[in-house]
Structure 1
Amino acid sequence: MTMPEAIDAVRQAFVGLAAEEFDLPPRQAFSDSRSLVMAVHHRPTKSTAVKVISVEVERDPVITGTVVYSHPDGQFVADAVPLTTLRTGAVVGVATDLLADEHASHLALLGAGAQAADQVRAVHAVRPLKKLVVFNRNAKKAEALLESLRDELPGTVMDTAANADEAVEDADVVCCATASTMPLFRCESLKERVHVNAIGSYRPVMRELPQELLATAGVVVVDQVEAALSEAGEIIRAVQSGVLRLESLVELGAALGNPPLREGRTVFKSVGVAVQDWAVARLKA
């Protein structure tokens, strides 16, 4: 399937989530979030997706696991790795299309791991890229990522950055895809009009975004408030410290139904929810 197909499927799934079409229990985490179980049931189609994954940050690939999609006519089993990178990219595509300036064309990508390529593909699908800058602590991985994407992005200027602040300073869109436990960049390094996606942190001890960004952003969108408050380290810290009001968080499904203004700095924070897995798996059913 193509990235635009996945983006459309995930967009409709979040609209359905806002319309209460899904039974979506909280994600189950074991062994300090090294083992995760995610399940969802779509009542209109009587279909269910269940994903079981193992996460080891020092391993390559970081994620291993299986997705089972079942519906009244049967079921299938899929490798969780490509499905997870695709559905995570797709939700970033949905958020970027919703929140980024319509003329955005310069992407800064922080992180060059397994999720990185689909982050680029997703942003490019909704905001064709003229420039891509990548920062990774291992510069060779950043260079290898760019080389792997050259044929897909003809005409796009590509470069690596020496640090995260340098990478983001002129970007229209920023994507964070790391396992960091500390903010990756300073808020003042960003342009006044920029959209920032963060998909790397999924545990309370992890965070990629500076609190100042969350405190001053025009809108902070999350995939699901309940999930963000239990798993997204930067959201948890910002709410607990009082720099981000809980009631100001907007769920993606609600934002799709009532789009916020595209102005100033906007943020999308995702920890990943099972409706994304369901949406992409359903395309293969």
Structure 2
Amino acid sequence: MKIYSAEDVRRLVPMPAAIDAVRQAFLDLAAGHFVLPARQIFGDGAVLVMSAYHSPTGTAVVKKIGIALDQLPAIRATVIWTGAGEQIVADGTSITTLRTGAVVGVATDLLAPAESTRLAMLGTGAQAADQVRAVLAVRAISDVAITGRNLQRARTLVSALAEEFPAVKFAPGTSIDEAIGDADVICCATSSPTPLFELDALPARVHVNAIGAFRPTMRELPRSLLADASLVVVDRLEAALEESGEIIDAVNSGTLTPPDLVELGTALTTKPTPTARTVFKSVGIGPQDWAITAVLAAGPK
């Protein structure tokens, strides 16, 4: 058995490698190469168990997540990966933030304007840094506005990321409308029960990623944005219809129908040409965890 700490995960799986691995995992998912049981949810979302089996390689991953939004870190997880005669146990908290950032990198690379230079990061929690890292890995971003309810936390995150990316201008703030008014890409990573902004606060052409609302009672995006968007992409339709508050609300209200939603693997295969506003909504699925752990299993390049 090999055991990987959070530091090991970060050292062995840089963000560009994570994005490449997650992109291929979604292509494999679209090709039918994963067996993907429904996520098990306990205690109103306090404990999650998710798994995935990759049939071409005969490898599987299982992840247990504990979520306590009133604590730091809010997510604590462990990942177990099994292959032919090999087993890996890895820090699942780092894998979760890394793979969630990576899938946003995949979606942003596919859907955001190629000339994007301005990113608005809404949320300052554990997921935020990898959201920024992922977007910077796929677009030549020069300006990042980081917005949260707590200005000091926004400043702390700005300070850490500015040291990591000295060529990028970072600015902290608490006004969402100011942050998103001229953004090319927006990342939402909050536990908000209500939409973070209104449609008229957005530029006419913008790509929005939303990864924070993972329960039916949560909503980061307004219904009007989902109605207005030229393309709404989800990681997996079944998961979005069961867990995403925004998608559930939009479908129940008649704003969207399930056929209006495009799975990321399908979008990667068909290569859409986005126009106007686009949305990517992710609740997270097992193949993302499998992808990151498979990179660990492959060892250093």
Query: TM-score when scaled to structure 1?
Result: 0.99
Deviations 1:179-227 (A, max 9, x none): 0000001111110000000000110000100000000100000000000
Residue of 186, 194, 211 corresponding to 1:182: 194
Aligned to 2:180: 168
**Distance in 2, Cα, partners of 1:262 & 1:244:** 18
Aligned to 1:87: 99
Report the identity percentage: 54
Paired AA for residue 249 in structure 2: R
Offset at residue 166 of structure 1 (A): 1.4
Q: Secondary structure at the match of 2:248?
A: helix
Name which of structure 1's ranges 154-163 and 130-139 shifts more when overlaid on structure 2.
Answer: 154-163
Offset at residue 151 of structure 1 (A): 2.1
Deviations 1:167-186 (A, max 9, x none): 11100000000000000011
Offset at residue 245 of structure 1 (A): 2.2
**Distance in 1, Cα, partners of 2:259 & 2:69:** 33
Aligned to 2:52: 40
Aligned positions of 1:60-71 closer than 5 A? 60-71=72-83
**Distance in 1, Cα, partners of 2:85 & 2:133:** 32
Paired AA for residue 138 in structure 2: V
Residue of 6, 12, 21 corresponding to 1:9: 21
- Name structure 1 gaps, 5 residues minimum: none
Offset at residue 105 of structure 1 (A): 1.2
Q: Secondary structure at the match of 2:164?
A: coil
**Distance in 1, Cα, partners of 2:141 & 2:93:** 26
Q: Secondary structure at the match of 1:151?
A: helix
**Distance in 2, Cα, partners of 1:104 & 1:251:** 23
Residue of 103, 124, 137 corresponding to 2:149: 137
**Displacement over 4 Å in runs of 4+:** none
**Distance in 2, Cα, partners of 1:250 & 1:6:** 22
Aligned to 1:203: 215
Name which of structure 1's ranges 241-250 and 209-218 shifts more when overlaid on structure 2.
Answer: 241-250
Paired AA for residue 41 in structure 1: Y
Paired AA for residue 104 in structure 2: V
Paired AA for residue 109 in structure 1: M
Offset at residue 265 of structure 1 (A): 0.2
Aligned to 2:158: 146
Superposed CA RMSD: 0.7
Name which of structure 1's ranges 259-268 and 229-238 shifts more when overlaid on structure 2.
Answer: 259-268
Is it true that 1:24 corresponds to 2:12 in the alignment?
A: no
